[in-house]
């Protein structure tokens, strides 16, 4: 089915067996780039095999030889029969990682592998698809995706479905809210007796409440809002989307067609 080809579940090592039960392609969130830079793999109850490898940059401190790192990644792809690499680099773009992403994009192209990079590395890696996060707190998601399509080409875009759940104190000068767990979100809504609305621009639900003279704006996703984000992406010609298992596991029954 078309939806099964589009959706990819991104899972940490401890959840890979459960995530694999949905019958969708998997992205293994088991790797990071550390000092050197070198590739590090997390300890896992199940050795990753097949699917995509996700490389995070949370342990990178700067400097080193990007070519050596690329070779380590490519050897791991061959050993684990991975079909591609996701460079989910979320820190501010750095020269070494830009060179590594570019090298991996070219190497994956030559080997028939998929390559994805975070948005900040999209311009440096024209051979790769570009990950666009779906959680926004201002503007419009349609405008965000259209702008990214103009910069990179719509055929290069892929969604990373960040499930929104944040409490913003208004005004919010930096656009950042306090993250809420699923339990905190339910409790806050019930405590405030809040009426929930849907923002077509943000493609997410929201409610407001007051604490004394301070106004709060709570933005969150559920299965319905994520389906609308996926539908919007398809309308714009974006055919692939990643669902992080840790935040969407309880929604997959509504998101995945079996």
- Each residue of 187-207: pLDDT tens digit? 999 999 999 999 999 999 999
pLDDT digits (tens, 9 = 90+) for 76-86: 999 999 999 99
Instruction: Give the 3-state DSSP-derived string for the chain, with helices as H, strands as E and coil as C.
Output: CHHHHHEEEEECHHHHHHHHCCCCCEEEEEEEEECCCEEEECCCCCCCCCCEEEEECCCCCCCCCHHHHHHHHHHHHHHHCCCEEEEECCCCCCHHHHHHHHHHHHHHHHHCCEEEEEHHHCCCCCCCEEEEECCCCCCCHHHHHHHHHHHHCHHHEEEECCCCEEEEEECCCCCCCEECCHHHHHHHHHHHCCCCEEECCCCEEEEEEEECCEEEEEEECCHHHHHHHHHHHHHCCCCCEEEEHHHHHHHHHHHCCC
**pTM of the complete model:** 0.92
Instruction: State the pLDDT at residue 5.
Output: 40
CATH number of 2-163+222-255: 3.20.20.80
The tens digit of pLDDT for each residue in 18-70 reads: 999 999 999 999 999 988 899 999 887 778 889 999 999 987 888 889 999 99
Boundaries of every domain in the chain: 2-163+222-255, 166-218
- pLDDT of 68-108, one tens digit each? 999 999 999 999 999 999 999 988 888 999 999 999 999 99
Q: Residue 216 and residue 207: Cα distance in Å, rounded?
A: 8
Do 166-218 and 2-163+222-255 have the same topology in CATH? Answer: no
Domain 166-218 has what CATH class? alpha beta
């Amino acid at each position: 089915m078309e939806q099964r080809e589009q959706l990819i579940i991104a899972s940490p090592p401890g959840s890979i067996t459960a995530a694999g039960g949905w019958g969708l392609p998997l992205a293994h969130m088991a790797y990071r780039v550390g000092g050197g830079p070198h590739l590090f793999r997390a300890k896992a109850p199940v050795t990753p095999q097949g699917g995509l490898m996700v490389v995070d940059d949370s342990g990178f401190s700067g400097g080193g030889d990007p070519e050596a790192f690329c070779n380590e990644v490519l050897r791991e792809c061959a050993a684990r029969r991975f079909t591609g690499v996701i460079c989910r680099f979320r820190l501010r773009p750095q020269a070494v990682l830009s060179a590594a992403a570019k090298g991996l994009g070219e190497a994956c192209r030559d080997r028939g592998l998929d390559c994805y990079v975070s948005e900040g590395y999209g311009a440096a890696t024209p051979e790769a698809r570009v990950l666009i996060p779906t959680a926004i707190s201002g503007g419009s998601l349609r405008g965000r995706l259209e702008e990214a399509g103009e910069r990179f080409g719509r055929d290069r875009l892929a969604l990373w479905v960040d499930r929104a759940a944040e409490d913003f104190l208004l005004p919010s000068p930096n656009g950042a809210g306090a993250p809420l767990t699923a339990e905190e979100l339910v409790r806050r809504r019930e405590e405030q007796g809040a009426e929930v609305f849907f923002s077509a621009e943000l493609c997410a639900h929201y409610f407001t409440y007051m604490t004394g003279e301070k106004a709060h704006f709570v933005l969150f996703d559920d299965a319905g809002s994520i389906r609308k984000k996926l539908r919007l992406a398809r309308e714009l010609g974006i055919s692939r989307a990643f669902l992080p298992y840790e935040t969407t596991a309880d929604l997959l029954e509504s998101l995945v067609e079996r």
